[in-house]
A and B are shown apart, each in its own frame.
Chain A
Amino acid sequence: MENRLIVSSSPHLHKGESVSRIMWMVAISLLPAGVAGVVIFGLNALWVSILAVITALATEGILQVLTKRKVSILDGSAFVTGLLLAYNLPPNVPIWLPVIGSFFAIAVGKQVFGGLGQNIFNPALVGRVFLMASWPKYMTAFSRPLNYDALTSATPLASLKEGKILENISYLDLFLGKRGGCIGEVCILALLLGAAFLLIRGYISWHIPATYIASTAILTYIFGPRGLFSGDWLFHILSGGLILGAFFMATDYVTSPLTRKGQIIFGIGCGLLTAIIRLWGGYPEGASYAILMMNAATPIIDRYTKNRVYGTRPL
């Protein structure tokens, strides 16, 4: 039954889409970034992704059988969760890490709440944050790009946090993904290709990504390292998981607001939190925490941005 529900504010018009179809489209749009990740970091990135996806599907299926619910592993949502989780991992993690992360994402992030449509938080991010809190050693060891041995390097944002000057990295490197980072977040070009596909086909709207990215950029520009209005906003857009988060995770139908107005509030909130964590927080990167915190705020945003029923007074 859930498969036939499209979550949006009224009025409704059936378009022949289904949750399952949308999920598979999202999965397709994520592929270029994955291919880029494998090219940049080597085959281990591929194994990590495959393991994460398989575990996500298996966990979903087993839990649905155990709880005697309809098995819906082919609706694409578990696939997308597994893939997104893998994209949020460093490429050279031990192989059990994506397995545990995927299991946790689906079991605790999704099925405990009652399955697709019931979860409060983006399951892939729940998995990532669990791994980050549990095995920070592996989650912060990034390998060098285009250098297929296990040498580690810091991500650009981590170097920035430690006060090092970044001279040897250009905007083009960042745009193409020649930097240390998570599998799916590094190649901005590939991510934008996928995002463009989703935007043109109307699977996601511009409201969340645009406001999210813009507010991060504005805040990091204003509070720059050398006084007000000196920040390197382009660097902040191109590094970390901002682009991946803004287009593919903040836009998750289940955990983001329904109305346009709500989505704009959501996007700005994500942007502010990301910038605050990056500039003043303990972690170098805050996109995943920002999105999770705004996920928690989504019900209340929805409540105050409900569309007015025609003919009634405003709230």
Chain B
Amino acid sequence: MKKLLNEFLKGIIRENPTFVLVLGLCPTLAVSVSIINGIGMGIAATFVLLGSNIIISLIKRIVPDRIRIPCFIVVIATFVTIVEMTMKAYSPALNRALGIYVPLIVVNCMVLGRAEAYAQRATVVNALFDGLGMGIGFTLALILISAIREFFGSGQILGQTLFKGFEPASIFAMPSGALLVIGLLLGFFNLLKNRKAQ
């Protein structure tokens, strides 16, 4: 039980996909303009990750090593398409805001990375907890980045304007601002880690 908890928790801080493994930056940079987008992308990616991790660890015995990549991609793409169709049907506004980045979860290095590095060797239960932890870690990172960007870039938190007369810096709403925020956060987390190690 403790081991499972560990599998779950490692994705949130110790092996956070965004800030430690530095995987899946493309959607992170593109969609983290507002918290709602960040949460939407996080949940979509978590669902795909969870599904692909479980299926891949289930089929690990029948998939030959030499064709594992196309097999993994088909599995991942299936889940992504399910997410996209569901989103279009039930939340068209979110789908429009996330745009091309929903289909692009297919090539999110984080999903394939976990399949390659973990799920294809793990038991189903372990893979499930790993996928859930990684997904939540990714979502939390997205929320952190998008909260900073939403606040500075449009002066709002969750679509609510906080201060009257606050002039938002539109650079944070642009991709260059995303790079800036992620870079500074990465530096900050490394600083914390180094302090702790000393």
Contacting pair A133 B187 (CB below 8 A): no
Q: Which residues of A contact B180 (CB under 8 A)?
A: 108
Q: Does A112 contact B171, Cβ atoms closer than 8 Å?
A: no
Contacts of B170 in A (CB 8 A): 133-136
Q: Are A130 and B171 in contact (CB under 8 A)?
A: yes
Q: Which of B167, B170, B174, B184 gathers the greatest number of chain A CB atoms within 10 Å?
A: B167
Cross-chain contact of A135 among B167, B174, B184 (Cβ < 8 A)? B167
Tell me whether chain B's interface is mostly helix, strand or loop, or mixed: helix
Known interface pairs A108-B180, A112-B187; A133-B167 also in contact (CB < 8 Å)? no
Say which size band chain B's interface belongs to. Answer: 10 to 19
Distance from A104 Cβ to chain B, minimum over Cβ atoms (Å): 9
Q: Report the Cα distance A135→B176, complex, angstroms.
A: 14
Residue B73, interface by CB 8 Å? no
Cα separation A100 to B171 with both chains bound (whole Å): 13
Q: Which residues from chain B contact A100 at a C-beta distance below 8 Å?
A: 169
| Cross-chain contact B187 with A135 (CB below 8 angstroms) | no
Q: How far is the CA of A135 from the CA of B171 in the complex (A)?
A: 8
Query: Among the listed A108, A112, A135, which residue makes an inter-chain contact with B169, where contact means beta carbons less than 8 Å apart?
Result: A135
Q: How far is the CB of A72 from chain B (nearest CB, A)?
A: 22
In chain A, residues 110-165, which have Cβ atoms closer than 8 Å to a Cβ of chain B?
112, 130, 133-136
Bound-state Cα–Cα, A135 to B177, Å:
13
Residues of the B chain whose Cβ atoms lie less than 8 Å from the Cβ of A108? 180, 184
- Of A112, A130, A133, A135, most B-chain CB atoms within 10 Å: A133
A108 to B180, CA, bound (A): 9
Contacts of B176 in A (CB 8 A): 133
Q: For residue A89, give the distance in angstroms from its CB to the closest CB of chain B.
A: 15
Alpha-carbon separation in the docked complex, A63 to B162 (Å) = 29
Bound form: Cα–Cα A133–B170 in Å:
6
Closest A residue, CB atoms, query B170: A134
Q: Least Cβ distance of A28 to chain B in Å?
A: 33
A247 to chain B, nearest CB (A): 28
Residues of B within 8 Å of A135, CB to CB, are 167, 169-170
B187 partner residues in chain A, CB cutoff 8 A:
112
Q: A134 to B176: give the CA distance in the assembly, Å.
A: 11
Question: Residue of B at shortest CB range from A138?
Answer: B167
Q: Looking at the assembled complex, report how far the CB atom of B155 sits from the nearest CB atom of chain A, in whole angstroms.
A: 12
* Cα of A130 to Cα of B152 in the assembled complex, Å: 13
Top 5 A-B pairs, shortest CB-CB distance: A134-B169, A133-B171, A134-B171, A134-B170, A130-B171
B-side interface residues toward A, CB under 8 Å?
167, 169-172, 174, 176-177, 180, 184, 187
- 8 residue pairs of the A-B complex, CB under 8 angstroms, read A100-B169, A108-B180, A108-B184, A112-B184, A112-B187, A133-B176, A134-B169, A136-B170
A interface residues (Cβ-Cβ under 8 A, vs B): 100, 108, 112, 130, 133-136
Taking A134-B172, A135-B170 as given, write out 14 further A-B residue pairs in contact, using a Cβ cutoff of 8 Å, ordered by the A residue number.
Answer: A100-B169, A108-B180, A112-B184, A130-B169, A130-B171, A133-B171, A133-B174, A133-B176, A133-B177, A134-B169, A134-B171, A135-B167, A135-B169, A136-B170
